[in-house]
């Protein structure tokens, strides 16, 4: 499932290829893909110009010159793929956005958990709008005039973007919580963007066991956790994200990421820890597995 680094890689690709272009046509053929509202509403975007490409956690926010925001959530298997209109549609294509310049952006999603929806504007998060400076966004000049991109009300329950958090937020969010650390790291209300893979990698780099009660972390451990979160996510973005053996995650150009080759614990049960050589273990935490090193992580 794409997590923050994968979605950020897709965001950068969409921004590079489509920012400032006009949407000529939009067709939806997968009824589950647009399920929050009448799919016909997306027709409102025809003729609009894409003026910002933002992200908060795992959500992509495509902002248009009339202030509307199209939210894309890839969930399990969604892909946004660039193509020429003449190229054959891949199986499981559920929506096609045709832009000026003869370029299509296709939403492909075999498992159909992903979705697209139009959202109202809510709290502003660009620097000129105020509250949320850190979430990633590229903005065309006309967006500044429109007052910038906003975090839609539909997403107001999300915690801060995981790239923005420091020890103070983590300390406040985890205080008094008995749930295992990993369970809270993947809780999108606590931290938006971290999932199964990066929670394990972050815990390893922070030298913290994923099954530690989250509320028991000391200040120095919270600082390590904040630094590890930023380091792991930033390095994963630089590597274009992680493409696992299912080959599902691809960037906008269809390329795989390479961070899977840098995973220190995720998916490596029984293999030697890269720091100390002891075999990496897999434990079950809640309903999920977690990979960690018993010697390096306390």
Complex with Zn ion: residue 103 or 275, whichever CB lies closer: 275
Cβ proximity to Zn ion: between 176 and 277 the closer is: 277
* SS3 state of residue 27: strand
Determine, following the binding rule CB under 5 A, whether residue 275 of this chain makes contact with Zn ion: yes
| Span from 12-20, 138-146, 164-172, 288-296 in contact with Zn ion (CB under 5 A) | 288-296
With CB under 5 A, what is the number of residues at the site for Zn ion? 6
Interface stretch with Zn ion, choices 202-210, 227-235, 238-246, 268-276 (CB under 5 A): 268-276
Q: Is 118 in the site for Zn ion (CB under 5 A)?
A: no
Counting contacts by CB under 5 A, is residue 272 touching Zn ion?
A: no
With binding defined as CB under 5 A, does residue 296 bind Zn ion? yes
Token look-up 């890839």 returns: 74
Cβ proximity to Zn ion: between 82 and 273 the closer is 273
* Sign of the dihedral defined by the CA atoms of residues 61, 66, 67, 68, in that order: negative
Q: Which residue is nearest to Zn ion (CB)?
A: 273
Strand segments (E) across 19-73? 23-28, 50-56, 59-64, 69-73
Q: Does 140 bind Zn ion (CB under 5 A)?
A: no
- The stretch among 5-13, 62-70, 202-210, 267-275 that binds Zn ion (CB under 5 A) is 267-275
What sign does the CA torsion over 97, 102, 135, 68 have?
Answer: negative
Do 155 and 121 form a contact (C-beta atoms < 8 A)?
A: no
Contact in structure between 211 and 290 (CB atoms under 8 Å) = yes
Residue for token digits 């209300």? 189
* CA dist., res. 56 & res. 137, Å (int): 9
Nearer to Zn ion, 258 or 275 (CB): 275
Nearest distance from C-beta of residue 231 to Zn ion, angstroms? 17
Q: Which of 273, 290, 291, 292 binds Zn ion (CB under 5 A)?
A: 273
Please tell me whether residue 269 binds Zn ion under the rule CB under 5 A.
no
23-43 core/surface letters (b: 16 or more CB in 10 A; e: else): bbebebebeebbeeeebeebe
Q: CA 253 to CA 159: how far, in whole Å?
A: 30
Answer for which of 89, 131, 253, 276 binds Zn ion (CB under 5 A) is 276
Q: How far is the CB of 40 from Zn ion (least distance, A)?
A: 55
Three-class secondary structure of residue 152 per DSSP: coil
Residues that bind Zn ion (CB under 5 A): 273, 275-276, 293, 295-296
């Amino acid at each position: 499932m794409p997590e923050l680094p994968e979605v950020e890689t897709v965001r950068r690709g969409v921004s590079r290829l489509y920012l400032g272009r006009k949407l000529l046509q939009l067709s939806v053929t997968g009824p589950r893909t647009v399920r929050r509202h009448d799919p016909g509403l997306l027709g409102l975007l025809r003729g609009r110009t894409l003026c910002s490409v933002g992200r908060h956690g795992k959500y992509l926010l495509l902002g248009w010159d009339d202030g509307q925001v199209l939210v894309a959530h890839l969930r399990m298997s969604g892909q946004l793929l660039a193509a020429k209109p003449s190229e054959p549609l891949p199986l499981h294509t559920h929506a096609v956005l045709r832009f000026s310049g003869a370029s299509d952006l296709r939403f492909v999603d075999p498992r159909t958990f992903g979705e697209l929806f139009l959202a109202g504007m809510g709290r502003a998060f660009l620097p000129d709008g105020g509250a949320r400076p850190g979430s990633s966004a590229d903005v065309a000049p006309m967006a500044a005039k429109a007052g910038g991109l906003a975090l839609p009300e539909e997403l107001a329950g999300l915690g801060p973007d995981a790239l923005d958090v420091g020890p103070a937020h983590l300390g406040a969010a985890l205080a008094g919580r008995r749930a295992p650390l990993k369970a809270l790291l993947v809780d999108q209300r606590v931290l938006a963007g971290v999932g199964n893979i990066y929670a394990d990698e972050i815990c390893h780099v922070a030298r913290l066991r994923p099954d530690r009660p989250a509320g028991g972390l000391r200040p120095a451990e919270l600082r390590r956790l904040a630094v590890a979160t930023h380091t792991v996510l930033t390095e994963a973005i630089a590597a274009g994200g992680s493409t696992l053996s299912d080959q599902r995650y691809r960037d906008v150009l269809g390329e795989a990421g390479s961070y899977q080759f840098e995973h220190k614990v995720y998916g490596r049960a029984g293999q030697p820890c890269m720091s100390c050589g002891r075999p990496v273990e897999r434990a079950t935490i809640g309903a999920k597995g977690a990979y960690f090193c018993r010697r390096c992580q306390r």
